[in-house]
Structure 1
Amino acid sequence: MSDGGPTARSVVTGMGVVAPTGLTTAAYWAAVLRGESGIRTITRFDPSGYSARIAGEIPEYDPSQLLPSRLLPQTDRMTRLALIAAEEALTDADATPREMPPFACGVVTSASGGGFEFGHKELEALWAKGAKYVSAYQSFAWFYPVNTGQISIRHGLRGPGSTVVAEQAGGLDALAKARRHVRSGTPLMVTGGVDGSLSPWSWLCIIRSGRVSTSTDPRTAYLPFDRRAEGAVVGEGGALLVLEGADRARERGAAHRYGEVAGHGATFDPRPGSGREPGLRRAVELALRDARMTAADIDVVFADAAGDPDLDRIEAEVLAGVFGPRGVPVTAPKTMTGRLLGGGAPLDVAMALLSMRDGVIPPTVHVDAPAHADLLDLVRDTPREQKVAAALILARGQGGYNSALVVREAV
């Protein structure tokens, strides 16, 4: 049976996670269920001169133990993490693209920027030592599609390849684009996002957004849906997933079919001052319609959780409008990692799939003064055991991007 066609099902058969609380899917999921936080004062550079000093930082590790030595001089930290996640995802899926026909596999990733740390170091070399000390790898290591390129080269993914840049929302948009490629006949796609911008240059750009928390207390710096919310914490990491046609996955005896990417909707907010409603609710409605589901079919929502009082209120009102006040469990486990830019939403998708596998909703931590308790059934502090057959994941990006994705049990 063919997987082609506009309504063909696409399932996740492998996943790889790199996050502040774990460099593998298993390690990260265990930390999430323990309520363990990876938010801390930045150590990768001295943050004392910046208004924001807290981030979701991945602890130091030895990349030479996980990647070929030839890749290390040419890759930014972000790209190394993406290569580690891609390797885990393909291994988890028991897929070897180089053994498949040419052009049978592709890759779509999301990004908010590129290899900022690599670029920062090369600019330092330029100004301190001169042009001849700038690495030739600077020509691509800084570029926002670099993760897509390096993953495709390492694993021989010669099929469709692209990168989506829409900050946090781009992670869901990348999965939706990969699903379109699978429906068009590409047997296997690697998709998702891994991001990271913890360098002085990129950090300055991030905090100029005005949405980053200036708290110096890791426990209270990022408090979405809390009366004390004053901004977000940014982090590094994300998740990459292997997406295949459901029929192909079944026929080849895939060890995992974590769930189906069932529906997607993307919108853009109207111009400020226009008086028109934000586009988040319409994105949710489009995703449900695409999945041919109703609000009653959704068992949990993984919230965008901006950590900005106004944006949190908008999201709470949207969810209450769609599901009814306190009509569905809502969670934001990103309170343990921070918002991971282009990698954050794919990590939420991975958690939603693990929630379906294990029958447990991960918690939102540190929210002790809920701001919207009348609207949201927020899963707080400890995991909630519950059967999860379908989940809605929401993501918004700086500049007005909205994206919603529905995943459900694979049949």
Structure 2
Amino acid sequence: MIGVIADDMTGATDVAAALRRAGLRTLLVLGTELDEHAGPADGIVIGLKTRSLPVEEAVAQSLAALTVLRRQGADRIYVKYCSTFDSTDEGNIGPITEAIADALRADLVVTTPAAPLHGRTVYRGHLFVGDVLLAETHMRDHPVTPMRDSSVPRLLAAQCTAPVGLLPLDVVQRDADSVREVMRRSRAEGIRHLVADAVTDADLAVLADAVDGEILVAGSAGLVGAMALRETAAGATAPTPPSGRTAIIAGSCSRRTLEQIDRFVGSGGPAHRVVAEPGDTAEELAARAVEWWEHLPSDADALLYSSTPAAERRQDVPGAGELYEQAAGLIASQLSDRGVKRLLVAGGETSGEVVRALGTTVAVVGEEVAPGAPWIHDEERDVHLVLKSGNFGEEDLFVEVAAQGRTA
């Protein structure tokens, strides 16, 4: 069984979608609590919130997740990180990977952020987003993890104590035996992290063949998705969300989420913008939003959002980001208490706060509404959620998901 440790919530749903796409019955665990009666699974994904934590705390949580996965019978472990390699010189990708490698006594870890499905490719160790080098994208000015180098080996070496090597594209495109030979030589040379080039799904398939039998692999959802295609699937039916109104909760300020908001509002969909004034609490913001919801027609889908373009963000509300995230969690919890069973949440930090507020610990993964954004079913609370990375989905995603609820 494949066990995955993901460093944020939307990344966890992205990789869970990749396993489900391969036909595997997949459980998504949000945190490190997993009941023995969660049901059979071909793959288990544990979603943490370790991307920007202090290194020691991130490593400790990841090792706790490893213990859970091994107890559940996972015989292959995958460390999942963002396909734009979101990190700093201190980590946390390198330290987490090395700590898990030490725990598993793995002397070599093949790793790649390549995910052609999402337009992420690696060539000569350099990470591209579409046809643009990572360091030339919007990620250059990310407020938490500014990515100003496109070389994955250099980025990883800055975070690791062990040597980092490169598995070049010409070897990958030769065959799996050639890849295994480079892996053998890398082990002999003391290289512990081997960054693999990959530009197509066929390249990922070769890598998946080559790492078959390795106890530890790392990367984005791309490589583990290729690995999943080689697994024997149980063939369980995926959960399907019921018909009914959809609540869309958006906190991401990414360009794609802002486009999705504009398209939903432009289509005539009701929308409430969550705006904090100095002194407002999360409880007050949530109360106003839920009161607005309750005055809508009983069958109306609606959008509740704090997302704003950078130029419109207020500077007079200290800690506004955390305030909006807490409000989003309260809104989601209160709407669920009122019988809403379809929630689409946009943004990684927002998603993390929503699942915390809902108390969701284990969910069964269903079909995708967009690549990397599946429905997940919290069976205990009986709510279906999409936890969407800010940049995922086409512009019409909010409109289409709401429309599906009226025709399901």
TM-score norm. by structure 1 comes to 0.29
Relative contact order (C-alpha < 8 Å, sep 6+): which is higher? 1
Normalised by the length of structure 2, the TM-score is 0.29
